Amino acid sequence: MPLNFVISAPSEKLRLLLQAKIDQKTKPLGALGQLEVLALQIGLCQNTLTPRLNKPTILIFAGDHGIVEAGISAYPQIVTSQMIGNFLSGGAAISVFARQHQLELLIVDAGVNADLPYHPKLIDAKIDKGTHNFLTYQAMSGKACIKAVQAGAELVLEQYKTECNCIGFGEMGIGNTSSAALLMHCLTNLPLDQCVGRGTGLNDEQLRHKLNVLQQALNNHENLSTPLDVLATFGGYEIAMMVGAYLKAAEVGMLIMVDGFIASTALLVAYKLYPQVLAYCVFSHVSNEQGHQALLVYFNARAILNMDLRLGEGSGIALAYPLLQSAVIFLNEMATFAEAGVKTVMLPARIQKDFE
* pTM, to two decimals: 0.95
pLDDT in tens, 198-257: 887 889 999 999 999 999 999 999 889 899 999 999 999 999 999 999 999 999 999 999
Average pLDDT of the segment spanning 322-335: 98
Task: Mention every residue, 6+ apart, whose C-beta is less than 8 A from residue 183.
Answer: 230, 231, 234, 235, 239, 265, 268, 269
Side-chain half-sphere CA neighbours of 353 within 13 A: 4
Q: Is residue 3 situated within a structural domain?
A: no
Q: Residue 166 in 3-state DSSP?
A: strand
> Which of residues 307 and 353 earns the better pLDDT score?
307
Q: Residue 102 in 3-state DSSP?
A: coil
pLDDT in tens, 148-187: 999 999 999 999 999 999 999 999 999 999 999 999 999 9
Instruction: Give the C-alpha distances (Å, rounded to integers) separating 276 from 53, 189, 207, 246, 249.
Output: 21, 21, 35, 11, 12
- Tell me, what amino acid is at 218? L
- Asked if 198 contacts 290 with a C-beta cutoff of 8 angstroms, the reply is no
How is residue 336 annotated by DSSP? B
Q: Which residues pair with 176 in a beta bridge?
A: none
Note the pLDDT of residue 353: 52
Note the pLDDT of residue 350: 56
104 is catalytic: no
Average pLDDT of the segment spanning 279-287: 97
Q: Decide if pLDDT at 83 tops 80.
A: yes
pLDDT in tens, 105-137: 999 999 999 999 999 999 999 999 999 999 999
Alpha carbon distance 312, 174 (integer Å): 11
Q: Is residue 41 situated within a structural domain?
A: no
Note the pLDDT of residue 138: 97
Percent of the chain's residues with pLDDT above 90? 91
Side-chain half-sphere CA neighbours of 210 within 13 A: 28
Q: Is residue 192 situated within a structural domain?
A: yes
Q: Is residue 91 situated within a structural domain?
A: yes
Quote the radius of gyration of the chain (alpha carbons, Å).
21
Q: Among positive and negative, which fits the CA dihedral 153, 100, 296, 201?
A: negative
Mean pLDDT for the chain? 95
Note the pLDDT of residue 355: 42
> What confidence tier does 347 reach under pLDDT thresholds 50, 70, 90?
low
Q: Residue 170 in 3-state DSSP?
A: strand
Q: Is residue 217 situated within a structural domain?
A: yes
Alpha carbon distance 220, 96 (integer Å): 42
Q: What is the DSSP string of 29-57?
A: TTTTTHHHHHHHHHHHHHTSSS----S-E
Residue numbers of the domain that contains 134: 57-329
Catalytic residue among 12, 222, 313, 339: 313
CATH code where residue 263 lies? 3.40.50.10210
- Asked if 304 contacts 282 with a C-beta cutoff of 8 angstroms, the reply is yes
Q: Decide if pLDDT at 75 tops 60.
A: yes
Q: Is residue 24 situated within a structural domain?
A: no
Number of domains forming the structure of the chain: 1
Q: Is residue 7 situated within a structural domain?
A: no
> What confidence tier does 196 reach under pLDDT thresholds 50, 70, 90?
very high
Q: Is residue 300 situated within a structural domain?
A: yes
Q: Decide if pLDDT at 267 tops 90.
A: yes
